[in-house]
Amino acid sequence: MNKITNPILTGFNPDPSIVRVEDTYYIATSTFQWFPGVQIHKSKDLVNWELAARPLDSTKLLDMTGVPDHGGIWAPCLSYADGRFWLIYTNVHSLRGAYKDTPNFLTTAESIDGPWSDPVYMNSSGFDASLFHDDDGKKYYINMVWDHRPWKKNSFYGIVMQEYSVGEQKLLGKPELIFKGSDHRLVEGPHLYRKDGYYYLFCAEGGTGYDHCETVARSKSIHGPYEIHPQNPFITARDYPDSVLQKTGHGDMVQTPGGEWYFVHLTGRPSIAGGYCMLGRETAIEKVDWPAGEWPRLATGGNEPSLTVPLPEGSTALQKPLPPEESYSFNAPMLPRPFQTLRTPQKDNMSFSARPGYLRMYGKESMTSPLNQSLIGLRVDHPVFTATTSFEFAPWSFQQSAGLAAYYDMTSYYYLHVSWDEERKRVLHLQSCQHKDISYPVYNLNIPNKGAIHLKLEINRETLQFYWSIKGNEWNPVGPELTTSVISDDFEPDLRFTGAFCALACQDMTGTDLPADFEGLSIKRG
């Protein structure tokens, strides 16, 4: 019997929100500081998913200029009502220390492809906001509230609700506290549903790490009080250290046309000793039993996440594996869809027409700048992953560089790049950034002073190795094997949220915008 194998969205696809419109399912996930904002996949069968849209594709809808690492888009909520898609999203401006600045917005569209309406500002009291469309036509907006007061000892104040007026495009009245959470604490990620005379409130708790879980509560009134599920938590991996799927929680429910229920949720797969998740937080799915008037439960009867899940009744869908190889060229007048940039569109930092068949990237600020980097990234979505590129670059200053990176954020990356030295002229440097500290395991490696250079990055679960070549057929290793823990979620003591990327980048800190011409990027999995 065919089954769904988890995760269904691999490599940095956290905080899923799911909706079905007729015969098509859509999942929206967080993108944090990567632009365009909000990643939406679609499927006809809950089994095979394809990238359908990233709706926040203009600075009018999303301006992340200068946002810190792991700021930007947190936990979008995608819903459908009144012939339109409704997308709620948070653009986190700051997150370190006691405070979090979290403006929340609403945009709508008749089609998942847009156009999306101008954003409507909602509030800034917290994050993980969502919109519930009640049977009587009313709409209710809910979000967690952030409490910056240290003496309260719990920054996750609770879940608040306000009615939303579509005509006035604003929230009505004062926020009403409807749920303080359970003993698992850190309540966030709320989603409301109405079923069999009850309002059901699903929330993430326990933090988004290894204590993560999902709590369910219900009430006869939308205003509460909400009674907590007698077998709480609804799902968790914290009691199952041998489970392949860890960090489970923060999810959303969907019903099939046949009346079956499925729950999509965040998960992480440790691929490195010590519990490091290089692939970031991904999206998995569970089948749910939800008889009339009763509490929902996982179809397995327990609360441990499942590696394989039954298909909807009558389905014969076969799950397609990730392609073992993919090549991306730069022949079109835009980036291939899987790529994203950091914080802004970066349209002025690149050209597809200056040299046809190449992506010309103009050198901008350093890899540690939150403002104007010239960088494009592609998710690492398999624990065994190879990326290869070739490019031409003629630096004349040590402040100019271009190359291939294994990138997590501004404080954690490896970067093999062509630069310049007063004595050796054109050279290769291997730069390592760990805990914000920059070092050079290899520097001033001799390469030809002219012509294309080929670079390769090989990831094999716990280790990473760079190579260079003149023609792309005889590869020379650069430096030692490196640990992939540096580009994993769990490398820093503070929580990190994105997962590893392979990236093409170009810097010119002289301010003269010296370009590099990239011919393409090829990847292999497994």
Active site residue 188: yes
Order of all β-strands in the sheet with 501-508: 34-35, 340-342, 374-379, 501-508, 400-409, 412-421, 425-434, 437-446
Check whether residue 179 and residue 294 sit in a common domain.
yes
Q: Is residue 228 part of a domain?
A: yes
User: Are 432 and 341 found together in one domain?
Assistant: yes
The SS3 assignment for 283 reads strand
* Beta carbons of 236 and 249 less than 8 angstroms apart: yes
Q: Are residues 377 and 287 both part of a single domain?
A: no
Nearest to 250 by CA among 299, 193, 202, 308: 202
CA dist., res. 385 & res. 478, Å (int): 17
Residues 156 and 43 in one domain: yes
- Is residue 325 annotated as part of the catalytic site, yes or no? no
Q: What is the distance between the alpha carbons of residues 268 and 208, in angstroms, rounded to a whole number? A: 10
- Please name the residue ranges forming H helices in 93-156: none
Identify the sign of the CA torsion 299, 305, 308, 311. positive
Please name the amino acid found at residue 49: W
Q: In the prediction, which pLDDT does 1 show? A: 65
Choose the final residue of a domain: 248, 279, 310. Answer: 310
Residue 188 contacts residue 203 (beta carbons within 8 Å): yes
Q: Which of 281, 310, 339 is the last residue of a domain?
A: 310
The answer as to whether 320 is a domain residue is no
Which pLDDT score, from 0 to 100, does residue 495 have? 72
> Does residue 73 form part of some domain?
yes
Q: Which two tokens stand for residue 102?
A: 């979290």
Give 10-residue mean pLDDT values along the chain (526 residues). Answer: 93 98 98 98 98 97 96 98 98 93 98 98 98 97 97 95 98 98 97 98 96 98 98 97 96 98 97 88 98 97 97 95 96 94 94 96 96 97 98 98 97 97 96 94 95 98 97 94 95 87 98 97 97
Report the number of distinct structural domains present in the chain. Answer: 2
Q: In 3D, which of 125, 121, 202 has the Cα closest to residue 156?
A: 125
Give the tokens for residue 457: 């990055």
Element (H, E) at 75: strand 72-81
130 and 267 belong to one structural domain? yes
Residue 500 lies in a domain: yes
Task: Answer whether residue 249 is part of any domain.
Answer: yes
Q: Choose, from 188, 282, 304, 489, the residue flagged as catalytic.
A: 188
DSSP E strand stretches across 352-424:
359-362, 374-379, 384-392, 400-409, 412-421
- Does 331 lie in the same domain as 306? no
Do 101 and 197 reside in the same domain of the chain?
yes
* Residue 232: CB atoms within 10 Å: 18
Q: What is the pLDDT of residue 56?
A: 98
Residue 136 vs residues 21, 52, 140, 226: alpha-carbon distances, Å:
20, 31, 11, 21
Please state, in angstroms and rounded to a whole number, the distance separating the CA atoms of residues 377 and 410: 13
CATH number at residue 159: 2.115.10.20
Task: Report how far residue 212's alpha carbon sits from residue 186's, in angstroms, rounded to the nearest whole number.
Answer: 9
Nearest to 519, CA basis, from 455, 474, 447 = 455
Residue 316 in any domain: the answer is no
321 contact partners, CB below 8 Å, separation of at least 6: none
CATH number at residue 443: 2.60.120.200
- Asked whether residue 317 is domain-assigned, the answer is no
Question: Could you list the residue range(s) of the whole structural domain that residue 74 is in?
Answer: 3-310
Regarding whether 459 and 353 lie in a shared domain, the answer is yes
Asked if residue 372 and residue 249 are part of one domain, the reply reads no
Same domain, 280 and 387: no
User: 247 with 353, same domain?
Assistant: no
> Which domain-ending residue is among 310, 343, 359?
310
Any domain includes 231:
yes
Whether residue 273 sits in one domain with residue 183: yes
Measured between alpha carbons, how far is 209 from 171 in angstroms, rounded to an integer? 32
The active-site residue, picked from 15, 381, 458, 517, is 15
